[in-house]
Amino acid sequence: MKIEELRLRILFIILVGVVCYGVSLNLHFGPWIPALVGGWVATLIVVAERGLNQTSVRVIIIGAFGLALGVILANLIAYPLLLIAPLKSFAPYILLLTNLIFATVGVTVATKRETEIYNFLFRPSGKGAGASQGARKVLDTSVIIDGRILDLCKTGFIEGTLIIPNFVLTEIGQIADSSSSTKRARGRRGLDMVNKLQTQENVPVEIVDKDFPEIKEVDTKLLRLGKLMQATVLTNDYNLRKLAKIQDVQVLNINELATSLKPILLPGESLRINVIKEGENPDQGVAYLEDGTMVVVERGKKRIGQQTEVTVTSVLQTTTGKMIFTEVKEEPRTKRPRVRKIAG
């Protein structure tokens, strides 16, 4: 908190206390108790204002809903009790106590269960719920730093709302502050990507304050949040995807999407490639396609540094991607005219 803000808040508390003191003198009450009560109320207002500034609008709305529901329940319970003759003399105290208790419980429960309440009130059921489940996508640290999610948003392949949890932003910030220059660059790239995602207009982005203090691992928090919000988790982490399957959380892996979009090459098709280095086996050459797919060229060692036309012999799918095996395409031989020997 800045010094100027602190001074203003202290001044506000003092002014409220002084006003209450002056009003109590005019009404011929004891001056000190109203002044202390006024200062206490002003302090509560300052604390509430500071807390509301750090709270999302959705939590405030759900909290207000819980408060209203608590007050309604309190009065539904209190007024029948006041029909009992011995309790009528305690009516103000009973009303105050029941309203205070139920309002506090209502706000507390609503804010702690705000995601479930929000889903219950504003999310459709049945087939619509299944459709909207895929519409909310929780981003993990790896997919933000990777950056390809931004291109997917711009091209319109991503629908719904992108959810960025605050604990993911915290992890990216810690990476950006790392002593390692490589990690620092990755972290700063991640923060830059968050800003770009927020400024693009194709897909809405929401920063969520929901956290799970009892859980230390960010991956576990992501899966808990995805299940809680009935959302899909977007990641590049292969292990996170396996863990999500165990916990029955829907996960999309950007790397798997990129692999599935690579062009399919069949044995017998021709390619024109640039052989750049030797292969593992003798006389092999290695080249790469534009998407990074490795191409192994049999008898390609002597073609290093040359544009070479090759024929696909087989395609091997691995956990890290595809490998294409080829052989150099034989150039057609030009027929030489046969010279007949004439005996002389």
pLDDT in tens, 102-147: 888 888 888 777 767 766 666 544 444 444 444 789 999 989 998 8
How do residues 68-83 score in pLDDT, each as one tens digit? 888 899 888 888 887 8
Q: Is residue 217's pLDDT more than 50?
A: yes
Residue 251 DSSP one-character state? E
Say if residues 304 and 287 touch (Cβ distance below 8 Å). no
Q: Is residue 336's pLDDT more than 60?
A: no
Work out the average pLDDT over 50-68. Answer: 74
Percent of all residues in the chain with a pLDDT value above 90, rounded to a whole number: 6
pLDDT at 264: 75
Among 2-11, 56-65, 233-242, 265-274, name the one with the lowest average pLDDT: 2-11
Q: Is residue 153's pLDDT more than 80?
A: yes
Identify the structural domains of the chain with CATH numbers, from first to last. 3-118 (no CATH), 125-260 (3.40.50.1010), 270-328 (2.40.50.140)
User: Residue 226, exposed/middle/buried by CB under 10 A (0-12, 13-18, 19+)?
Assistant: buried
pLDDT at 192: 92
Name the nearest CA neighbour of 161 among 117, 198, 108, 124: 198
pLDDT at 225: 86
Tokens of 39: 């200062």
Residue bearing the bigger pLDDT, 230 or 341: 230
pLDDT band at 50 (very low <50, low <70, confident <90, very high): low
Beta strands in 171-274 (DSSP E): 205-208, 232-235, 251-253, 270-274
pLDDT at 293: 82
pLDDT at 130: 43
How do residues 280-324 score in pLDDT, each as one tens digit? 888 889 998 877 788 999 988 888 888 889 999 988 876 666 788
Among 19-28, 169-178, 191-200, 245-254, name the one with the lowest average pLDDT: 19-28
Tokens of 119: 């889903």
Q: Is residue 333's pLDDT more than 60?
A: no
Q: Is residue 343's pLDDT more than 60?
A: no
Work out the average pLDDT over 147-176. Answer: 88
Q: Please, which residues bridge with residue 163 across strands?
A: 138, 206
Question: Alpha-carbon dihedral of residues 192, 227, 53, 205, nearest 10 degrees?
Answer: 40
Beta strands in the chain (DSSP E): 136-139, 161-165, 205-208, 232-235, 251-253, 270-274, 277-278, 285-288, 294-298, 307-318, 321-328
pLDDT at 122: 63
**Across all residues in the chain, what is the average pLDDT?**
78
pLDDT at 61: 81
